[in-house]
């Protein structure tokens, strides 16, 4: 049987904020185009052929302009899936994080992408 590709996007992001004043009123960066960008990821052919699936989790540092400053992969099942996510990171846009006073600050957000093959 031929396998069909299904990329499942975990729309709920695991959020954490890094600000000078950590407080309940501080706000993490909020994804603006997450679903659109993640849905455009190309499932690596080598992973399809080998039946490799799994969760890629990446922690992002988001600047005051809402763009990704840097990233760190927390977990990934193989480097090809990691690289597929890495390729789309520059396309992600966020509402910047805010501190307890409502001032825009550099923030952190962790996003998951689940790769799943279906029959």
Statement: residue 8 has pLDDT above 60 = no
Statement: residue 113 has pLDDT above 50 = yes
Rounded Cα distance between 44 and 49, Å, is 9
Q: pLDDT digits over 20-65, tens only?
A: 344 457 899 999 999 999 989 999 999 999 999 999 999 999 999 9
Range of the domain at 89: 4-118
Number of domains the chain contains: 1
Tell me whether strands 54-62 and 30-31 are parallel, antiparallel or unpaired: unpaired
Statement: residue 7 has pLDDT above 80 = no
pLDDT of residue 24: 58
DSSP conformational letter for 99: -
pLDDT of residue 25: 73
From residue 69, give the alpha-carbon distance in Å to each of 26, 63, 89, 94: 20, 6, 10, 11
Provide the pLDDT confidence category of residue 3 given band limits of 50, 70 and 90.
very low
Which CATH number covers residue 58? 3.30.2420.10
- For the chain, the straight-line distance linking the first and the last C-alpha, in angstroms and rounded, comes to 7
pLDDT of residue 118: 80
Confirm if 41 and 119 have CB atoms less than 8 A apart: no
Q: Which of the two residues, 25 and 91, has the higher pLDDT score?
A: 91
DSSP conformational letter for 35: H
On average, the pLDDT of the chain sits at 83
pLDDT of residue 20: 39
Strand spans (E) along 18-93: 30-31, 54-62, 68-75
Q: Could you tell me which residues come within 8 angstroms of residue 45 by beta carbon, excluding any fewer than 6 positions away?
A: none
């Amino acid at each position: 049987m031929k396998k069909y590709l299904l990329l499942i996007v975990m729309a709920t992001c695991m959020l954490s904020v890094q600000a000078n004043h950590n407080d309940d009123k501080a706000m993490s960066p909020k994804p603006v185009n997450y679903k659109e960008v993640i849905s455009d990821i190309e499932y690596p052919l080598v992973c399809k052929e080998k039946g490799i699936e799994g969760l890629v989790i990446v922690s992002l540092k988001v600047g005051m302009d809402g763009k990704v400053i840097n990233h760190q992969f927390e977990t990934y099942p193989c480097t090809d899936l990691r690289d597929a996510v890495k390729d789309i990171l520059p396309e992600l846009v966020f509402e910047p994080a805010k501190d307890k006073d409502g001032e825009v600050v550099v923030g952190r957000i962790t996003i998951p992408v689940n790769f799943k093959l279906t029959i």
